[in-house]
Homo-oligomer: A and B are copies of this chain.
Amino acid sequence: MRRASVFLIDQNLLPFKFKIFNSPDYKTTCHAIKIMMARGAGAIGAAAGFAMAQAFLQKANIEKARKEIKSTRPTAQNLFYAVERVFNASNPVKEAQIIADEDVANCRKIGEHGEKLIKSGSRIETHCNAGWLAFVDYGTALSPIYLAKKKGKKCFVYVDETRPRGQGARLTAWELAGEKIPFKIIPDNAGAFLMSRGEIDLMIVGADRIAANGDAANKIGTLEKAIAAKEFGIPFYVAAPTSTIDLNCKSGKAIPIEERSEDEVLFQTGLNSKSETEKVLVCSPGAKAFNPAFDVTPAKYITGMITEKGIVTPTVAGIKSLTR
Contacts and interface: CB of A to CB of B under 8 A. Distances in A.
A157 B188 CA distance: 21
Given A267-B270, A273-B279, A280-B269, A287 B185 contact: yes
A15 interface: yes
Nearest to A296: B196
Interface string A278-321: 11111111111111100110000000000000000000000000
Contacts of A266: 169, 185
Contacts of A296: 196
B283 A166 contact: yes
Interface string A217-229: 0011101100110
A7 interface: no
Contact of A292 (B190, B272, B279): B190
Interface in A160-189: 161-164, 166, 169-171, 173-174, 177, 183-189
Interface residues of A, number: 62
B281 A271 contact: yes
B193 A284 contact: no
A280 B282 CA distance: 11
A273 B279 CA distance: 7
B268 A186 contact: no
20 contacts: A16-B285, A169-B283, A170-B284, A185-B283, A185-B289, A185-B290, A186-B290, A187-B221, A188-B188, A190-B220, A190-B295, A192-B221, A193-B292, A193-B295, A196-B223, A227-B228, A267-B270, A270-B282, A273-B279, A278-B278
A186 B292 CA distance: 9
A158 interface: yes
A223 to B, nearest CB: 5
Given A164-B187, A187-B188, A189-B221, A285 B271 contact: yes
B284 A173 contact: yes
A189 B187 CA distance: 10
A265 interface: yes
Given A163-B161, A227-B228, A192 B280 contact: no
Interface of A: 15-16, 158, 161-164, 166, 169-171, 173-174, 177, 183-194, 196, 219-221, 223-224, 227-228, 231, 257, 265-273, 278-292, 295-296
A221 B190 contact: yes
B278 A272 contact: yes
Contacts of A257: 193
A16 B191 CA distance: 30
B187 A220 contact: yes
Contacts of A285: 15-16, 271
Given A187-B221, A267-B270, A273-B279, 13 more contacts: A158-B290, A169-B266, A183-B287, A185-B289, A186-B289, A187-B188, A189-B224, A192-B227, A193-B223, A193-B295, A227-B228, A271-B280, A280-B280
A282 B270 CA distance: 5
A171 B268 CA distance: 17
A194 B266 CA distance: 19
